[in-house]
Structure 1
């Protein structure tokens, strides 16, 4: 799997993280969606990772972690972009838009 950040996404995530320490997790969130097939991808800044489940993916900015069991729902080539007009990150691949409103959640303490 390959993840690339666009320049606008790099600027925005750097601003959002600032001096916080943690790990960026591309979380396939299924809470409140009924079943695992109805997940929504989000960016979470976490204090800790699940060593058995979270896989490190190298990017052109910083490592992003992905849940091993949820990689099936993602394409091999991903791009994280930021669109100022909608004030939102986007997760896309050459084949599809995976999440046009990729949220960022600070889950650090």
Structure 2
């Protein structure tokens, strides 16, 4: 799996990281969505990957995804930053996943 970031996304992530260590997790969030097959993509900034996470190829930031959630996404993804709204848009080669994704900082203090 691979995720490509545009310049705005890189800049926005760098700002949220604020020079502190961390890694990004692409999450298929099903909380309050009705069932495990209905969910929305979200981005979390975390201190360490989850127990079942696998890496997503990316530069310059480490990205991870739960291996069971990877089935909901294409092998190649692109993440665009929307600086005006401080949100992200996620696309694949054959589909648009969602926009208005917030980066949620869940790093340990």
Query: How far does residue 103 in structure 1 lie from its aligned partner after superposition?
Result: 1.6
Q: Number of paired residues?
A: 108
Moved over 4 A (4+): none
Secondary structure of 1:15's counterpart equals helix
Superposed CA RMSD in Å reads 1.3
Which position in structure 1 is the counterpart of 2:97?
A: 98
| Matches for 1:17-32 after TM superposition, within 5 Å | 17-32=17-32
**Could you tell me whether the CA contact under 8 Å between 1:5 and 1:61 is conserved in 2?**
no
Give unpaired runs (5+ residues) of structure 2.
Answer: none
Question: Normalising by structure 2, what TM-score?
Answer: 0.90
Greater helix proportion: 1
Equivalent positions of 1:27-42 (< 5 A) are: 27-42=27-42
Task: For 2:59 and 2:20, locate their aligned partners in 1 and report how far apart those are by CA, in whole Å.
Answer: 19
